[in-house]
Amino acid sequence: MLEQTSQWYKLQYPECFVNEEQRMIQKLFADFTDREIMPVRDKIDDDLTHNEIITPILKKLQVDLGCQADMIPADHGGNQSLGMVAAALKGEQISRGDWGINLHTACTNWGWTPATIAYLFGASQAVKSWGKAVLGAFAPRFLTNDLRVACFNMAESESACDIENHLNDGRMVHTKAERKGDEWVINGTKHWATNSGIADLNCVVCNMDAKSGIEGFALIYVPEPWPGLSHGKFEVKCGVQADRNTSTFFDDVKVPKEWGIQGPEAWNLFLNQLVSAVALQSASAVGVLQGAFDVLLEYTGTRVVGGKPVRQHLSTAMLLAEMASVISVGRAAFLELNHQFDHPEIYGPRITESALAKARTVQTYIARTTPELILKGMEFMGSYGYVRENNYEKYYRDAAALKLVLGGVQLGYFSVCRQFYDLDFSSFGPGKLQPAT
Amino acid sequence: MNCAVCIAQVTNPETPAAAFSIDLKARRAIPAKDRPLVINDYDQVAVEAALKIKEAKGGKVTIFSLGAPSVTVAIKHCLSMGADEGILLSDERFQAEDRALVAYALAMAIRKAGNVDLILCGRQEGDWDAGQVGLGIAEILNIPSVNPVRKIEVDDGRLVVERIVDDGYELITLPLPALIGVSNEIGPARYPTMKGIMTAARKSVDVWTADDIGIAPSRLDPSSAKVNMLDLFIPMRERVCEFIEGETPEEAGANLRLRLRKEKIV
């Protein structure tokens, strides 16, 4: 149970970063995780159909608590919960129970983000109008008592991190969008996107013309079911079962022109997507490590070896302290980062090299460190740490994927370097791919 | 149909007894530091009952509580569940241990707020399990009350409730205004919603002092307390374990029988 009046809590979540509303949101998701996820966390990844455990949890989270309307503006009936700190606290708490559940809810928000940001903060009337058209067409179906899912459909099988590599200016996006009359026509294949195959609404990352880079970049919303849109099989993964991943095939998918946006304005929305997700993923990683730490702390307190509890042995104490230190430092870092992103009037816009580098320093540090520490911790649980019912190995499996998402930590490190020198990690240039002609 | 719900913040009932110490001089139980205060579980269920009545019959739900300013957190939680207003009675002269005074203060506050058709309380507190405040409020306001209740229906301006008894329940009809002590059989309290939290965070909780609700200073004097704590102690429990022996299990069983008979246990 999250105890918000203890001194440790106050030191972990300082008032300069976390206000009253954010604390209430944090408590809501802490309680939800403790009651709804923790008791079944060892069974979540075995629910291959999602019918037994995952979907009932998601329905409570997304419908009963109203999270599926978080990124829908208030004047369209949604929660307009745009704050990064609030989203980070939510992600940390849910990931403490199951990172896949968190990915599901976070990526429904992610799918909505371009349209809502465009509508509320668009740099031009055209951008605002696009957001308004998308919200007008699709927001009402997310405000019902049915579970609705959104998907930011970005990655492709041959160019995942190359798409997330912003130096490529979108030229590695192979999903082709064309304007024909009053319609967009989309052809291509996406892969890996969270919520793919179960989404009611996709925001599809497209390219109109590879050689024109940002000018040809496009974001197009496509609902489901929709003619020409189909899916492959769901991937069977090491863990993170609540995060559905599959292929999405676009075969002459035609949608009204009002649902798509192209050019630099679309590109800026895309950059905002990337940097925001990196910042939030840092909080999720801390949540995964916290979940593992709590299990390890309890187990090593009751298991006796050599005449005393395991955690009274020096080697275990050292590891527990190291985990607690990374949690504490990681938490401080993600709170500061997301607080800064909530205050562009002080710290500047999010879509800059410096902002991305800052976000990547935090994300890569936690994402890289978490799996290593969790694996070390398994040594102190022995085989008990390797079986489902002791709730530890699930964090080991969750943590492995922390390093893989959003282009992977290597791409993150490259971005960090760009803050300090002109590291060239684009796909194009001398000795590399040549832009299409 | 306007409902008032009285809530209290209590030490988490999950707190182990070993985490408490006793201040013998002040006759107070002191929980260990950093032990969380939570909304009394039964009171949360009372809020849930009020919200269901509001959804069915309309009206508003007002939360009342007496305690330190930190109780605002508990009231805001209820607002985020869907309650409309919150009023905190906070005055350092209030003696929360004096349940009669707590009941009196809450009754005065509800009277001041006015326009209340139904008062809901939890059936009892999760810390002392006294169950006195709710019925005390009804007595002071001179309205009918029933406690503990597992089902509430509003019908033609009257209440039809099921009161829990040892071997089932009693069906009771009573007029409004009335006070009901709600039991957990009503059903679990709902989670707040995101929208509810965002709304609640922007609402302010009114804080009323003893003067605001017209309580005379003499009533606040500890010497006028209706409850006098005579003693407070942790009961000592001694357990003596004795193994009854015998050459065979049968003989040990026979020896046990004799011993139990000797001790007049059987």
CATH number, residue A213: 2.40.110.10
Within-domain flag for A143? no
Note if the bond before A225 is cis, omega within 30 degrees.
Answer: yes
* Pair (A411, A297) in one structural domain: yes
* Pair (A63, A24) in one structural domain: yes
- Min CA distance, B247 vs chain A (Å)? 34
Instruction: Name the closest residue on chain A to residue B71, using Cα atoms.
Output: A5
Strand pairing partners for A183?
A180, A256
Phi, psi of B122 (to 5 degrees): -70, 155
Q: Tell me whether residues A79 and B80 touch, CB distance under 8 A.
A: no
Tell whether B37 lies on the interface with A, counting CB pairs under 8 A.
yes
| A24 contacts in chain B (CB < 8 Å) | 76-77, 80, 192, 197, 200-201
* Pair (A199, A337) in one structural domain: no
ipTM score for this prediction: 0.85
* Pair (A230, A280) in one structural domain: no
Q: Tell me whether residues B191 and A69 touch, CB distance under 8 A.
A: no
Q: Residue A111 sits in which domain range?
A: 7-130
Residue of B82, B9, B2 lying closest to B41 (CA atoms):
B9
Answer whether A272's CB lies under 8 Å from A350's CB. Answer: yes
Among A209, A233, A263, which residue terminates a domain?
A263
Among A263, A285, A303, which residue terminates a domain?
A263
* Pair (A107, A194) in one structural domain: no
Instruction: Name the closest residue on chain A to residue B204, using Cα atoms.
Output: A20
Within-domain flag for A1? no
Q: Tell me whether residues A69 and B195 touch, CB distance under 8 A.
A: yes
| B34 contacts in chain A (CB < 8 Å) | 3, 5-8
Q: Tell me whether residues A65 and B191 touch, CB distance under 8 A.
A: yes
Cross-chain CB nearest to A21 (options B36, B77, B197): B197
Q: How far apart are CA B229 and CA B28, in angstroms?
A: 9
Count other C-beta atoms under 10 Å from residue B51's C-beta.
20
* Pair (A273, A412) in one structural domain: yes
* Pair (A227, A288) in one structural domain: no
Write the Ramachandran bin of A89: left for phi over 0, alpha for psi from -120 to 50, otherwise beta.
alpha
* Pair (A110, A252) in one structural domain: no
* Pair (A153, A83) in one structural domain: no
- If one counts the domains in chain A, the total is 3
Among A222, A246, A263, which residue terminates a domain?
A263
- Min CA distance, A68 vs chain B (Å)? 10
Q: Give the residue extent of every domain in chain B.
A: 3-224, 236-266
* Pair (A120, A188) in one structural domain: no
Within-domain flag for A383? yes
Q: How far apart are CA A247 and CA A196, in angstroms?
A: 7
Q: pLDDT tens per residue, chain A (437 residues)?
A: 778 888 899 999 999 999 999 999 999 999 999 999 999 999 999 999 999 999 999 999 999 999 999 999 999 999 999 999 999 999 999 999 999 999 999 999 999 999 999 999 999 999 999 999 999 999 999 999 999 999 999 999 887 799 999 999 999 999 999 999 999 999 999 999 999 999 999 999 999 998 889 999 999 999 999 999 999 999 999 999 999 999 999 999 999 999 999 999 999 999 999 999 999 999 999 999 999 999 999 999 999 999 999 999 999 999 999 999 999 999 999 999 999 999 999 999 999 999 999 999 999 999 999 999 999 999 999 999 999 999 999 999 999 999 999 999 999 999 999 999 999 999 988 788 877 66
Q: Which fold has domain B3-224?
A: Rossmann fold (3.40.50)
* Pair (A254, A275) in one structural domain: no
Strand pairing partners for A230?
A249
Q: At A368, which CATH number?
A: 1.20.140.10
